[in-house]
Structure 1
């Protein structure tokens, strides 16, 4: 019947009906939220925190994108330093995500279905005995990917804060066009919830969108301690250095173009191959291809593996592809071994910059501008996806980046201490610093 109605009704009428249903669901959700706020019973949390509750940005995969792994690991490291006996629980979806949470040593907390979500929050907060709630805002809080999921996070943060739980969003970015309906949620959240924005541009956009108070920080992933360097990769790097080559980390992925077609994917791969070949002509340079997201079709291997295959038979190019899955801390350690990083993943850029390595960014969702501003880096280090439409644009940018590395390294070094100070602000639950 639904298919029949969809087929015979005008598109405008179908869209009106869909919008009306969404509006009704939103009003009901707000009504349930109001009831939950009234039922909150406040208690005093332990100091230092003994029970940490984490709400990840992707409750389906938890850490398929290594940026999530980096932020989670940095937070857990921070709280473990404050209390050796801290116990950690994590919200997740049922199924595979539960296993991921358990493998990290955390207790899984299944996110309730939408129609019972709000009513379950007090029970969850009581069962987890949460002293502190950390929510990973990452790049989702403008609603670009999942407005309903953002609403769930905001309601969770509000109810937790009203129950006395110390509550904060780790530094997140905010794009230029947030989903308008989310303003009603942001404006109702308890002033005790700490919203951390990870760059000045995002902070300005957030303040224009909502009356909620916010703080300027740098990304929490800057606080992640580097792990171990893969032995085989280190041997390859050492060999390249012994032959006088500059080492460049390289990363590209399908999400640089939204809903990329097969033809667009082929073009990304072709341009990257041409750029690496062009940069290798007349320069002592080697490229380390680094995946930073392992999510199947959206993962970086979809681009990086065919790039490696195309270049592996070119005697004039020195290239290595990092096989397997690796933790964010180990990738950060590896990022510290290269001389420059070219990446389309912001958290790989953060890993590199956190290790004092200059970065050329292939941007999407206007997330990178505030990051390079933290380090006083020039705007020409931001490349839009249109670079793949030009025969020589990417190659030219890569060549210029390699040639400017000594100057760029000085800029990164000059700003790093202040960026690290800002990053530590993610875990400062004092008063709001900005209005």
Structure 2
């Protein structure tokens, strides 16, 4: 690679950051959105949901489905990434997809066209819910974080009931993302943080008002045992679900560490099933899980499951080890301890919420032995960790349902608004 290429890439990143920080793009977006909104017929009949980034991620899919499961009436799902989620039939029957691929990540005329399309859709919406997840603090994509916040702020100023649903906040949030989210809060957007650590960080950054909730996936209402029946047919031993994160694998050779974990679980009499949670270029769990499977000879789920099928697996598990937070959430939802590798500062708050901070392990050399040490404390049926999770769960589910408070079903078509 030419030494000029990294320099040019860095220059582009700095230029993009400078433009975003200037707030000029946000002001242009606000003007385009407002103009399209005011020109369209105003009859709020739907719930507009700005989905998490895209397909290939069970966690993103689980967030979208859990939100929709806990509301009723017609909904419009705004898709900003590649591919459309395959919603369960009962949701697909009342959810209309709206593909706006340039809305969050695009530039130029195509981006402005998608902003205008969002404005027209807002004119027919009673509510706007932005699924915040871990994409609001600018750590993954600063322009995308700023756009989500600024679009939400404009929608609220136009009179649409707007919220950012259960999301994390980093202790290293980018300045422009922080300012944009603070502006959204000042505009009346409900900021629903999904754990107490994130809420503390947001308040410390001058963002408010914030409301403490839990991840909306804790409010999921469906479980599908079909994959568990197939993958665990004939298994009589207790089951351990193990996820190997392709995201963590991008900066750490995990294979030997996970081999230590799998061997320890087997020595303790557990059947190990390797479960990928994300299948995207550059962060692919399927490849990461397969590498461990080839090393230790454990079975691996060959394709991504649906969120309900994952919950069917976690309902059969005794323990989970994961590098992906939403596999932890769906395990904890069934009272199953989930030893979770900390990424992006979002796991610490989750484990404080369920009262078992020791389930959070920092990824790095030697993490295999660290995970085994935690497993030995949580595996016994009467362990304090299991008792703590069971005791905390009803309160956590109630917090998760705060994400959907006030989302009354829009007026059905054919009735006066």
Partner of 1:433: none
| Cα contact 1:175–1:205 (8 A) shared by 2 | yes
Quick one: distance in 1 between partners of 2:403 and 2:396? 12
Quick one: distance in 1 between partners of 2:80 and 2:13? 28
**Which of 400, 404, 408 is the aligned partner of 1:423?**
400
| Cα contact 1:339–1:405 (8 A) shared by 2 | no
Partner of 2:156: 161
5+ long unaligned stretches in structure 1: 313-318, 431-435
Question: Which SS does the other structure have where 1:294 is aligned?
Answer: coil
- Give the alignment's TM-score, normalised by structure 2: 0.83
The structure with the larger Rg is 1
| Cα contact 1:51–1:132 (8 A) shared by 2 | yes
Correspondences of 1:222-371 after superposition (within 5 Å): 222-230=218-226, 233-234=228-229, 237=232, 239-241=234-236, 245-256=237-248, 259-260=250-251, 264-265=252-253, 268-281=254-267, 283-312=268-297, 319-371=298-350
| Cα contact 2:33–2:118 (8 A) shared by 1 | no
- Give the alignment's TM-score, normalised by structure 1: 0.80
Quick one: distance in 1 between partners of 2:189 and 2:40? 16
Quick one: distance in 1 between partners of 2:188 and 2:204? 20
Partner of 2:83: 97
| Cα contact 1:42–1:164 (8 A) shared by 2 | no
Go from structure 1 to structure 2 and tell me whether the alpha carbon gap of 1:138 and 1:247 turns closer, same or farther (over 3 Å shift). Answer: same
Correspondences of 1:46-65 after superposition (within 5 Å): 50-58=45-53, 62-65=54-57
Cα offsets for 1:326-350 (capped at 9, x unmatched): 1111101211111111111100000
Q: CA deviation at 1:356?
A: 1.5
Task: Give the superposed CA RMSD.
Answer: 3.3
5+ long unaligned stretches in structure 2: 408-417
Quick one: distance in 1 between partners of 2:87 and 2:396? 30
Quick one: distance in 2 between partners of 1:296 and 1:162? 38
Quick one: distance in 2 between partners of 1:376 and 1:34? 42
* Mean Cα deviation higher: 268-277 or 418-427: 268-277
Task: Give yes or no for the alignment of 1:66 onto 2:58.
Answer: yes
Q: CA deviation at 1:216?
A: 0.2
Cα offsets for 1:232-280 (capped at 9, x unmatched): x436646333xxx3221111212125x42xxx43xx1112112221332
Q: CA deviation at 1:182?
A: 2.2
Go from structure 1 to structure 2 and tell me whether the alpha carbon gap of 1:20 and 1:310 turns closer, same or farther (over 3 Å shift). Answer: closer
Question: Which SS does the other structure have where 1:170 is aligned?
Answer: strand
Aligned residue pairs total: 393
